[in-house]
Chains A and B, each alone.
Chain A
Amino acid sequence: MRLGTSRSGVLAAAVLTAGSIALSACSAGSLGSSEQSTPGKTQITFLTNNDPNNVKTANAMIKAFQTDNADITVKLDTRPGGGEGDNLVKTRLSTGDMADVFEYNSGSLFQAISPEKNLTPVSDAAWAGDLDDTFKKVVTAGDNLYGAPWGPATGGGVLYNTKVYTKLGLKVPTTWDEFMANNAKIKAAGVTPVAQTFGDTWTSQIFVLADYHNVDEADPSFAENYTANKAKYATTPAAKAGFQHLEDVHKAGYLNKEFAAAKFEDGLRAVATGTAAHYPMITFAVPAMYGVTPKNVNDVGFFALPGTDAAKAGVTIWEPSGIYIPKTTTDAKLEAAKKFQAFVASPKACEVQAKVAPIGGPFPIKSCTLPANVATAVKDLTGYVEKGAITLALEFLSPIKGPALEQITVEVGSGIRSADAGAKLYDKDVEKQAQQLGLEGW
């Protein structure tokens, strides 16, 4: 082995190292963007999730906002959604490194980011009075309001194919028994009664979570008792019904053949094209349908998950994410951020959102109206909302939601675990969450 070559080899390595360390002083980002905002303008950063539809909406909102506020520029920053996004938001808040204004869930997830400690209260904002009371509840902590609504409220229930119903002469069911009777007829006609899509585990929870309206009607104090560890899913028949329904639909053989691996889009496609008659889902799925089966969107209707009492039928509502300002935003940026928040809560924002993408439900802002060309399913949902036949989902009334629910519902819905065992397991799962939040009684 010749040592001469090794010397040049080492030299090369040293040069490479030194060069790359020098290079590292600039990352590609700093080569491009400028840290200083242009003089006279305030620049704020806005953090939201990176779902492509959401990004499109965010860009449209920013553009509209900047047109009306020429002295402010908003820089969009994105994060992953889902659990990874939750961690990121919490990490950045706890290390004092959050954007000037950010979007995040409302309800129990909102409570979990310690709003009183980390967020700027906006109870005296001019737009606070224009918010629906149901929304106000889910972005309030202590006595203060913290968030503006990002997007519309949506409802959980069953998407159904109206053409199948018309062809088989079926009526929208108002009790569970009617629902199962319809399913039997649908199966006899050779159509898949119910589509499930456990390839995306979150979709398996609908039968349980969207049933909350019925639970609340049967037992109005459930949320409170549940939070205080006085009521449980396994021992409250109305609550356990959700798990039971999951099991029953699978046992009766009403599911699509590939329910175990099918994904969310597959479910949408199935119910829109009539391959399946029912797809339990929340109406935020409707905008997604325009991307999957644009021609069939209006063949899909929506009805609330049926319970035991036809007279008390109603929809379980999910409130949209909120726009929050962390306490680390100060001075001019705080003013700018507040203006942005106010814009988001204005009727103009509703218009912008309706124009840029289809809407999945009614806006929780009183002075906003829905455009006339919303999808059939959304019109159906609005019917329930106008009648007042709605209840907030449990995650907005109680800070407790067990992390393993979607796994448990997949098991119950696939026949791996019984409804009874599933409910009991979930009750246990929820214990950890309650203790983590330091709730009394656990």
Chain B
Amino acid sequence: MANTVQTKAAVRPVDTQQPRATIARRQKSPYPFWFMIPAGVIYTVLFLVPAAVAFYFSLTRWTLFDQEFIGLDNYVQFFEEPALVSGLTHTLIFAVVTCGLKVVIGMALAVLLTSQIIGRAFLRSVAFFPVLVSTIGVGIAFTVLMNPTRGAINGALGVVGVQGPGWLTDPQWALLSVAFVDVWRGVGLATVIYMAGILSIPQEYFEAAKVDGAGSGQSFWHIVLPLAKPATVTVLILSLIGGLRSFDLIWAMTKGGPGFTSDVIASVIYKQYQAGFYGLSTAGNVILFLLVTGIVVPLFWWFNRKGVEA
């Protein structure tokens, strides 16, 4: 069997052209389609089919008990929703803030946690802890900590003489506060993905760079960043999608409040669902889907076209 490490070290980024040997074997590909059947069946039956059915219902006025076909009226009504434009803005702000912070901080922490410092294993666990706690648990804990008059955060700020704002009760701060908690919770995962990416870069590259006289900054910029690209793309896409669709934490902490100031599209949709406007909220989900797709798919495609197989 080929020696794994030697192969890896000798390999430069492989292009995507198929070696001729494999083309000749196309009849009996080692990558058979039937590998995808079990997953495909489960996914289609329990996800795609209901989604398609729901799409049909977005064109009706649906009370769960009977329905009335109304074409695109739900969509029109959704766009007339007063909270909608602000919801859209909030969604984009939330997604960009959380995604950006997770990408940057995640990478920074990953570099820190793969460098020569003591207590690495401990620090890695600590950074990942928040990912393990349920969203509801995190939401409740931070809502209590962020209480404007009795919470510990403002208490601590008060000790140094700073008047802490109403993190969740001030319309200016509510959305950002939830975003920060979301980053607190999710950055551990980003870090782990980045760490996996960084640690898969063979040491030889770094040693070669050192021999060439590169400092750690250049080493980072020219080796780590490009070769950790699959990790970056993954973190970016997942955070962006998560941020655009984010609901659980916002709901647990502010329910879109105070008033409508931290409402994002997902919470607007949920409130319509709660109010029993099932057709309308399903239309909202379709719109959200189009929005996320419109942003994420071009990004995904762009990254994969320039795809690098390390």
How far, in angstroms, from A437 to B279 measured CA to CA in the complex? 12
Q: Tell yes or no: B272 within 8 A of A by CB.
A: yes
Q: How far does the alpha carbon of A112 sit from the alpha carbon of B66 in the complex, in Å? A: 12
- Residues 1-30 of B, flagged 1 when their CB comes within 8 A of A and 0 if not, give 100100000000000000000000000000
**Residues of chain B contacted by A355 (CB below 8 angstroms):** none
In the complex, the answer to whether B280 meets A417 with C-beta atoms within 8 Å is no
Within 8 A of A (CB), among B8-63: 61, 63
Which of A414, A435, A437 meets B259, CB within 8 Å?
A414
18 new A-B contacts, CB < 8 A, other than A87-B274, A403-B272, are: A87-B273, A90-B64, A117-B66, A198-B169, A260-B166, A260-B169, A260-B170, A261-B147, A261-B149, A407-B256, A407-B257, A411-B258, A414-B259, A416-B258, A425-B82, A432-B275, A433-B277, A436-B275
Interface members, chain A 74-107 (any B CB < 8 Å): 83-84, 86-87, 90-91, 93-94
Q: Contacts A260-B166, A404-B271, A425-B82 hold; do A432 and B65 have CB atoms under 8 A apart?
A: no
Whether B276 and A112, one on each chain, are in contact in the complex, defined by CB atoms closer than 8 angstroms, is: yes
> Can you list 10 A-B contacts with CB-CB less than 8 angstroms, sorted by A residue number?
A198-B258, A201-B257, A261-B147, A407-B256, A408-B259, A411-B258, A416-B171, A416-B258, A417-B259, A432-B275
Residues in B whose Cβ lies below 8 Å from that of A199: 169
Main secondary structure of the interface of A (DSSP, over half): helix
User: A258 at the A/B interface (Cβ < 8 Å)?
Assistant: yes
* Interface of chain B residues 216 through 272 with chain A (CB within 8 A): 255-261, 271-272
Q: 8 Å CB contacts to B: which residues of A409-435?
A: 410-411, 414, 416-417, 425, 428-429, 432-433, 435
Q: Is there an interface contact between B275 and A403, defined as CB atoms closer than 8 Å?
A: yes
Interface size on B, residues (CB 8 A): 35
* Interface residue A438 (Cβ < 8 Å from any Cβ of B): yes
With A and B bound together, what is the CA distance between A428 and B260 in angstroms?
15
A154 → B minimal CB distance (Å) = 23
Please tell me if the beta carbons of A403 and B274 are within 8 angstroms of each other in the complex: yes
Q: Flag A350-390 by CB within 8 Å of B: 1 or 0 each.
A: 00000000000000000000000000000000000000000
- Bound Cα distance from A442 to B281, whole angstroms: 20
Please classify how large the interface on chain A is, using the bins under 10, 10 to 19, 20 to 34, 35 or more. 35 or more
Cβ-defined contact, B280 with A261, below 8 A: no
User: Is A3 on the interface with B (CB-CB < 8 A)?
Assistant: yes
B61 touches A435 (CB 8 A): yes
> Using a CB–CB distance below 8 Å, which chain B residues touch chain A?
1, 4, 61, 63-66, 68, 77, 82-83, 147-150, 166, 168-171, 255-261, 271-277, 280
Q: Which residues of B contact A414 (CB under 8 A)?
A: 258-259
A260 touches B68 (CB 8 A): no
Q: Report how far A201 CA is from B169 CA in the complex, Å.
A: 12
Do B63 and A114 touch across chains, with their CB atoms under 8 A apart?
A: yes
Tell me if B149 and A257 are in contact (CB < 8 A): yes
What residues of A have a CB within 8 angstroms of the CB of B64 in the complex?
90-91, 93-94
A261 touches which one: B166, B259, B271, B274 (CB < 8 A)? Answer: B166
What residues of chain A lie closer than 8 Å to B256, measured between beta carbons? 407
Q: A91-B64, A94-B64, A261-B166 in contact; A404/B280 too (CB < 8 A)?
A: no
Given contacts A86-B274, A90-B276, A117-B65, A407 and B259 within 8 Å (CB-CB): yes
Complex interface: chain B residues within 8 A of A114 (CB): 63, 65-66
- Contact in complex: B63, A112 (CB < 8 Å): yes
